[in-house]
Amino acid sequence: MFTGIIQEIGVVHKMIPSPLGGELWITSPNIWQKVKKKDSVAVQGVCLTVVKVIDKACIFTLSPETMRTTNLGKILPGSRVNLELPLSAGDPFGGHFVLGHTDGMGTVSNMSRAGNAWRLEVSVPDPVERYLVFKGSIAVDGVSLTIASVEGKNFSAVILPLTAESTTLQNTVKGDLVNLEGDIMAKYIFKHMESLSVGKPEKKAVNEEFLRKYGYLEGLKE
């Protein structure tokens, strides 16, 4: 479990693709000292498991699914990545519930200045659109953001200077692919509402026709 509050930025040291997935090496200022084999780290919002720590590098194995459905499959050596360790009991909860299980990749349609901040606009794929809620939360490359506007399959978010400085979002440009994860609360609500309508007859309106059909208006004149 993560919160979308990035702890530091790492740098891709190696990315070794293979038919079976890939091997990702990431160097970092401090996180490499805090993790060990089998620990979890959110990298660009994707929950990965540490398989080895060498010098200042954490090594992760990427599955074919991760390579295909996240921007880690296209990442290059030298790229900067957002890093976050899992939430521990007693830690401050500053963002929102982030699982590190992305729902798809969005495309940055615009990145512009908005006073002392930036306005990020993203076009999302179908699986993510259902979770877009005005003033709700969304994780973009692992960063917890508040949705400022929603128009169909597009949303915008305001990125404050501190967030821009401490994440890779400061380097985001139009056309970039970003990992997206909808709010887990929105997912559970959507699933519950969806289940209520599956395999159940359509509810009929209670009107005069309904009442007469079932005898509630017997004896009354038309």
Per-residue confidence in pLDDT tens, the chain, 222 aa? 899 999 999 999 999 998 889 999 999 999 999 999 999 999 999 999 999 999 899 999 999 999 999 999 999 999 999 999 998 877 878 889 899 999 999 999 999 998 999 999 999 999 899 999 999 999 999 999 999 999 999 999 999 999 999 999 999 999 999 999 999 888 888 887 777 766 555 555 556 676 667 665 565 555
Residue 182: closest CA among 137, 148, 121: 137
- Per-residue model confidence (pLDDT) at position 211: 60
What are the residue ranges of CATH 2.40.30.20 in the chain?
A: 8-84, 104-197
Residue 104: closest CA among 148, 69, 56, 137: 69
CA trace torsion 169, 173, 150, 189 (10° rounding): -50
Q: How far is residue 23 CA from its own chain's centroid?
A: 22
For the chain, the straight-line distance linking the first and the last C-alpha, in angstroms and rounded, comes to 63
Fold of 8-84: Elongation Factor Tu (Ef-tu); domain 3 (2.40.30)
> Does 3.30.565.10 match the CATH number of domain 104-197?
no
Q: Is the dihedral of CA 133, 134, 137, 138 positive or negative?
A: positive
Which stretch of DSSP H or E encloses residue 107?
strand 104-114
Note whether 1 and 86 are within 8 A (CB): yes
Other C-beta atoms within 10 Å of 143: how many?
27
